[in-house]
Every structure is written in C-alpha cells, then in structure tokens.
Structure 1
Amino acid sequence: MATKEECREALGRLSDNLTRADGDVRAATALDRSLSCHITDLDVTFTGRLRGGAIEVADDHAGPPREKAAIRLAMTGDDLVAMVDGRLNFGRAWASGRVRLEAGFRDLMRLRSLL
C-alpha cells in the first residue's frame, strides 16, 4: 500500500508531467480551479489548485474533503502511483470506477481529453 508521502510525491510528478505536456492535454489542464484528491485507503485528502497546467498541493488532512473543490478526485494510493508511473490508464480506471472524477460539466468537457 502506498504511503501518504508516496502519494504526495506522485502528485508532484503528475504536476511535472502536466507542465511538460503539449497539445490537447496542455489545453485541458490550463485551468485555475480548486482541486482535491481523496486517497481512499489512507483516508487522507490532498487539497490545492490546478493552475496553468500544474497541480499546487497546498495541504493535506485526514478524512474526506472538508470543502467541495471544483475538481474532485478519489482513488487508492496504489492507483494514484500506478497512474503516474504509467502502469494504469486513467480512462480505463475511471470507466471501471477505480478512479472517481467529479467536476462541473464545462470542466469535465475540457478534461475529457485526459481520458
């Protein structure tokens, strides 16, 4: 099982990957939105912002998200690490329910290129 530190590191690597992306992925993540990522097996939530194609993790706390972020993710720590490492496809994980992504309709339409 991935640790809290490994999950924070994976979010940092995901941010680095997004900032280096181009084309549709870069356009899809060029938002300024609040973000939460609930790691279900650790019952910890990372909060921050998706801003200009980068994820800025500001804080973490025990339990589910305390406030409703504009973009909300939920998954196990192992799935987060596997996705960032390229061993788990985000679209397939989302379609199978392993990863939950919630956002407003417009944001979902922009983020669909990540699927």
Structure 2
Amino acid sequence: MATVDECRQALHDLAARLERNAETRGKLDLDRTLAARVTDLEVAFHARLKDGLLIDIADGDDPKAKIALVAASDELIALIGGKLDVTRAIAARQISVKANPFDLLKLRKLL
C-alpha cells in the first residue's frame, strides 16, 4: 500500500508531465474540477483540469467535482506512472472514473 505522500507526489508528477506534454501536443479544451479518492487510505485530493493542465492540487475531497477518480493507492500510483492502462483498469474494476462520457474521451488523451 502506498502512502498519502506518495499519492500526493504522483499527482504532482502527473501535473508536471501534462505541462511538458502540452507544449508538444497542444492544449486540450477541458476545464473541469477533479477529485481523486484513495479508498484504502481514506483520503482524497482535488484539483482542476484546465487546458490540458492539472492545477491547484490540494488535499481534501470535492464532492461537486465534475470528474471523480476512485482507486486504491497502489492502482493510483500505477495509473499515473503509466504501468496501468486506464481502459483496462476501468474494465477490470480496479479503478472507477465518474465523468461525462465526452469528458472521458478527452481524458484518455491526457493519460
């Protein structure tokens, strides 16, 4: 099981990767609030996806988030680290993503 700090760092690593990729790929037209809920640690983080970037990462849940990612800590780390395919993880019920179907299609481009 990963720690809270490792999960937080993974989200910051994802933000840095998205920022690097935005320069080469162009900006993605998406402006949504995001909640990442880590089930085994009983913690959550929230942030904002704006123009293909992950910004304003903070501790705590956002119950009104437009996109909610629910995963155990190890799955979250693997997903962000590129070791877990998001489509397969959803199909295998390793993670859950609650979002508008059109947002899901856009999110696949980010991960």
Shorter-chain TM-score bucket reads: 0.7 to 0.9
> Which TM-score applies when normalising by structure 2?
0.82
> What is residue 111 of structure 1 aligned with on the other side?
107
How many percent of aligned residue pairs carry the same amino acid? Answer: 39
Per-residue deviation, 1:84 = 2.2
Contact 2:49 2:55 in 1 (8 A): yes
In structure 2, the residue matched to 1:75 is 71
Q: How many positions carry a matched residue from both structures?
A: 109
Residue pairs, 1:39-78, within 5 angstroms: 39-61=38-60, 65-78=61-74
1:21-71: per-residue Cα shift (whole Å, max 9, x none)? 254xx66x541110000001001110120112221244223xxx4522111
- 2:3 counterpart letter in structure 1: T
Distance 1:88 1:106, change over 3 A: closer
Q: Any unmatched runs of 5+ in structure 1?
A: none
In the aligned structure 1, how far is the partner of 2:100 from the partner of 2:85? 22
Aligned CA distance change for structure 1 residues 86 and 111 (closer, same or farther; 3 Å): closer
1:93 aligns with 2:93: no
Q: Which moved more, 1:101-110 or 1:4-13?
A: 101-110
Contact 2:30 2:106 in 1 (8 A): no
TM-score by length of 1: 0.80
Distance in 1 (CA, whole Å) between partners of 2:29 and 2:9 is: 21
Match of 2:9 in 1: 9
What is the root-mean-square deviation of aligned Cα atoms in Å? 2.1
Q: Could you tell which deviates more after superposition, 86-95 or 105-114?
A: 105-114
Deviation, 1:19, is 2.1
Preserved CA contact (<8 Å) 1:35 1:47: yes
